[in-house]
Amino acid sequence: MTSTWFFLSLGDGMTADELSEEIRAAFQTAFESAGEPVDMAVFKRLESEGRLHCEVIAYFSPSAEGLAKLFDAGPCQRPERSGLGLLAGYEGSWSVLFPQSEA
């Protein structure tokens, strides 16, 4: 199993909702097809990195690789848990994907 995460810019906070909904809908189909694994999830975070406007970034867990590739997401390291929100998947995925992280 791969440990590579994937990321995708969803645009700024004002326009990210439409793409977020597309990801959520596509995730549900892929999730059910995969047998609803607890380690399959998509998270998102509002990031600014010193820029004037914030950008919403989606992070796909390694088990969501097929979905990430569908959206042309690029590979990345596992994101820091701080500031993340669950976009799609089980709440239980937090403890599986971020076992040593603070809540």
Report the predicted TM-score, pTM, of the whole model to 2 decimal places.
0.91
Task: With respect to residue 102, please indicate whether it lies within any of the assigned structural domains.
Answer: no
| 75-81 long-range Cβ contacts below 8 angstroms, 24+ apart | 75/4, 75/5, 75/6, 75/7, 76/4, 76/5, 76/6, 76/7, 77/5, 78/3, 78/5, 79/5, 79/7, 79/43, 79/45
What pLDDT does 48 receive?
75
The 10s digit of each residue's pLDDT in 43-70 is 999 887 666 668 899 999 999 999 999 9
Q: Tens of pLDDT along 7-46?
A: 999 998 778 899 999 999 999 999 999 999 999 999 999 8
Q: What average pLDDT does range 74-99 have in this prediction?
A: 95
Q: How many domains does the chain have?
A: 1
Among 100, 13, 7, 15, which Cα is nearest to 62's? 7
Residue 98 lies in a domain: no
Domain of residue 61 covers 5-93
Q: How far apart are CA 19 and CA 32, in angstroms?
A: 20
Q: Residue type for 53, please? A: H
85 touches 47 (CB < 8 A): no
Sequence-distant (6+) residues with CB within 8 A of 60 are: 5, 6, 7, 8, 42, 67, 68, 73
User: What per-residue confidence (pLDDT) applies to 1?
Assistant: 47
Q: Is residue 30 situated within a structural domain?
A: yes
On whether residue 99 sits in a domain, the answer given is no
Amino acid (1-letter code) at residue 102 = E
